[in-house]
Structure 1
Amino acid sequence: DLGAAAVEGLTIRHLVGAEITPAHWDAFWVFYQDTGSRKWGQPYLTRGFFDEIGQTMGDRVLLILAERDGVPIAGALNLIGADTLYGRYWGATEEVPFLHFELCYYQAIDAAIARGLKTVEAGAQGEHKLARGYAPVATYSAHYIPDPGFRRAIADFLVREREAVASDREYLGELTPFRRAEPPTG
């Protein structure tokens, strides 16, 4: 699926900071809304959010767009960390086979290499990432639960959940396309 954009005659653009115009954000907003309504039911970020990150942390925002005849048809929003590129949102107005993988994974990897970043974090979930070299990793999140009873119930659940997730990570880690070292023979 690598190179799908070239086969389709698309132009891929990597935009950072001031290169990202309000028209680019308008296009990405449409992509985000489409993916949000198809996948999550209700997109939770506002159009103003994208202007805000562009204005306040634009040098840490990488927008990868696919264009057909100069018109954006798909995009992937990434955040640039100290040593990691964080893939966050994707969307498209046109179905192009494998374009999601091209923009979200292969172009992100190229961008990370060009910027000297060590890691590409492609986001949570998605077993389709395994075949493309993204091994499962543990992530961290923090939440404040004010109700003590609810907090205890969640903590109890998380004991079992962590065990299940660790087991799943181990199993899914075996499905990546990387060669494993053979154990030494005596």
Structure 2
Amino acid sequence: MQNSFFLVKETSNDHALYYFNNYYLVVARLKEKLPVGEVTDYQLTWLTNETCVLVYRSKDQALHQYIGTYGGRKIAYSYVLSNLTGSWVSKDGRTSLTSSGATGVVIQANGEVEKYPFEQAKQFGTTALALNDGKNAKWSISLNSENEYNDQGDLLKNVQTKIILLKAGLDEPQKVELYFKQ
């Protein structure tokens, strides 16, 4: 496993945010300009050793997220939503995620149910997904880096198959591990 770093730079002239990818050892190259500049606060959380989430508040007080992914199972492309199809539950049973073609993504946490149509999901790399409600970032989802895949690149789902869920926020991040149920 390579050592990864997450590098975002805010320019002083226009306050735009730029994300840089690892290139070679400590050399980085510009990947893209993040859609929102003038950040007032931020939180950085590693979900797995291949997935890092930047949650940040913009000047208009909206919450945004950007996910840096590293690794990606050495495949050209994979749809994270396809790999999420089914039911996923935390070990304590208090948090769950259900995904299907008919419902989109449904998350139950702390007694609340949140529904996200597929249009509110944005994929990052081949391992992560961000859910938004149109104005604010809501959740980040990452496939666990230790999951197994078949020769076609499809996720092998069993009771050990795991995803990591993170509620978007600037407080102390609470990652939740969810396991495939059915």
Same fold (TM over 0.5): no
Higher relative contact order by CA 8 Å / sep ≥ 6: 1 or 2?
Answer: 1
- TM-score, with length taken from structure 1: 0.28
In terms of Rg, which structure is larger? 1
Greater helix share, 1 or 2?
1
Greater strand share, 1 or 2?
2
- TM-score, with length taken from structure 2: 0.29
